[in-house]
Chains A and B, each alone.
Chain A
Amino acid sequence: MKEAREFIMKCVFILTACVSIAAVVLICIFMFANGIPAIAKIGPLNFLLGEKWKPMNNIFGILPMIVGSIYVTAGAIIIGVPIAFFASVYLAKFCNEKLYKILKPAVELMAGIPSIVYGFFGLVVIVPIMQKLMGGSGKSVLTASILLGIMILPTVIGVAESSIRAVPDSYYEGALALGATRERSVFFAVLPGAKSGILAGVILGIGRAIGETMAVIMVAGNQPVIPGNLAMGVRTLTSNIVMEMGYATDLHREALIATAVVLFVLILIINLCCSALQRRSGQ
């Protein structure tokens, strides 16, 4: 009787595990089946390295969007990671318990805010400020980077903080015992131990920034050209797909799915980096 129950539950768990795997496999099949022929039709080089995106004239070059995604993500990392880094060090090592009880849920709340809300916040608050500071329309690489920098904070802080906490206390105490100050022991004894964990957090942040759509679409301007400076508008891979899917037909539609394939491959690479890092930290 007991064994039968065990067996049934085992099957249930295997099934639930299979559902998520099946979803990933189906998504891969759908995207590659639709996207690869389109890339072949347009020509891989024309598609990946073409600088012009004029779907109405059958010119599909997504280089501006690839570059745009990279610029915006890099900007978000430059702005968000230092803040997240020091915030997680503070939360893990310097914060008193009372303040921690307020700060930690606040950071967690940030992760729960829907991205469209961030986008609207960016559109009505950050965009007008940037308009005054830099002139122009206010929708630019910089605006999108600032907004994304804010959005990746909870992801990076969460992972970085727990990896700092995972470093054995003996490192910290040993450094103190050797006569180092509190700050010195945290930054030079504890943090090197948490290095790969913090890096994993940063990579997760990159994944979040590169995949973000709704917030970016509202503040980036979405011009399909390679931006020449920080005040120029930019279009990312994700916004390219969302913006035009509703009206796209024929090859245009397939080209958008092919854009998704490129994005998927990028995110796959990032996730592989992440798991490689985690494996190394596990050893």
Chain B
Amino acid sequence: MKKTWAVMGTAVAVSAMIFTGCGSSNTTTGTDTTQESENTDTAATDTPAAEDSKGGDFSGLISPISREEGSGTRGAFIELFGIETKDTDGNKIDNTTDTAEITNSTSVMMTTVAGNEYAIGYVSLGSLDDSVKALKIDGAEASVDTVKDGSYKISRPFNIVTKDGLSEVAADFVKYIMSKDGQKVVEDNGYISQGNEGAYEAAGLSGKVTVAGSSSVTPVMEKLAESYKKLNADVEIEVQQNDSTTGVTSAIDGICDIGMASRELKDTETSQGVTATPIALDGIAVIVNKQNPVDELTSDQVMSIFTGETQDWADVQ
């Protein structure tokens, strides 16, 4: 009995400590925000001048943040900004600076950029929120509309991976994804549709379809499965979330009917009899801290930041 009290007492004491800890950190963030707004105020008045005259008030070492090697987002990012180059033998070389911080999750990327005034990173357009600021690239804002009309060029395909001899139900589901109705679901979720093969009519099939793969594609795939099931009550669709590589391997091995990948397939994968079909386009937003007065960068500037040539914010204003 006595021991229980002691344990409970400790728990209370510890949680009290945690809460006071939170409280004090809150107050500090509070003062930070006031400072922040002052900064942004001055920054806002400064920006027009800074845009014309090179080098404004804002300066400091840039800390670029990148994703891990092999990530679909990183692959698309380095390709689109020309950070990836080819050597004389035609091998691709990733020139991302060695000092770039690496993270393997979108949420850590967002938290880091939100907490570091000098950070710059990139995330999928679908995961963007108010805690960070998305930059205009070459004058184009990052949004679904600008990706669609082609003015914002930083985007990558979401692929589904299928093998020959697809079951009738699975083929019907693929047909639905590529139809007008399926692509509308894609659009409604903040991604950009890829192709449109007319209206879809339920064929009255029954059976089970297993879909597995990339965690980036999973959210939209779940929505697609949901709306497909409304039309085909007898079909069961199971969506398993893991990663692009597992998705492709499972499609090859026949563990799942349809694999999901947020990257292009490798030659070693396509040689094993699978084909990729893009079902959606996802924009990649370049993000900075909200206190950062920079609103716009050219793609050359982004490249030189991520290859380590430009190291100070004063050089890109």
Contacts and interface: CB of A to CB of B under 8 A. Distances in A.
Given A57-B92, A247-B71, A138 B108 contact: no
B25 interface: yes
B103 A247 contact: no
Nearest to A137: B63
B53 interface: no
Interface string A234-272: 010000001110111110110000000000000000000
A242 B94 CA distance: 21
B101 A233 contact: yes
Contact of A249 (B21, B116, B242, B245): B245
A248 B245 contact: yes
Contact of A221 (B10, B102, B104): B102
A124 interface: yes
Contact of B94 (A57, A137, A247): A57
Given A54-B69, A137-B112, A252-B70, A223 B245 contact: no
Nearest to A218: B108
Contacts of B118: 137
The listed residue with most A CB atoms (<10 A of its CB), out of B25, B63, B93, B118, is B63
Given A125-B25, A137-B119, A246-B243, A57 B91 contact: yes
A247 B243 contact: yes
A101 B63 CA distance: 46
Interface residues of A, number: 41
B244 interface: yes
Contacts of A252: 69-70
Interface stretch (B131-139, B218-226, B263-271): B263-271
The range of chain B's interface size is 35 or more
A244 B69 contact: yes
Contacts of B7: 105
Contact of B69 (A56, A101, A135, A233): A56
B101 A139 contact: yes
B101 A222 contact: yes
A224 B245 contact: no
A217 B104 contact: yes
Given A223-B102, A224-B102, A249-B269, A136 B70 contact: no
Contacts of A125: 21, 25
A123 B105 CA distance: 13
Contact of B102 (A101, A109, A124, A235): A235
B100 interface: yes
B49 to A, nearest CB: 27
B101 A128 contact: no
B142 to A, nearest CB: 23
A106 interface: yes
A225 interface: yes
Contacts of B13: 102, 106
Interface in B32-56: none
A125 B14 CA distance: 17
B101 A246 contact: no
B10 A109 contact: yes
A224 B102 CA distance: 9
A222 to B, nearest CB: 4
A138 B65 CA distance: 12
A131 interface: yes
B196 interface: no
Contacts of A127: 112, 115
Interface of B: 2-3, 6-7, 9-11, 13-14, 21, 25, 61, 63, 65, 68-72, 91-94, 98-104, 108, 111-112, 115-116, 118-119, 242-246, 263, 266, 268-269
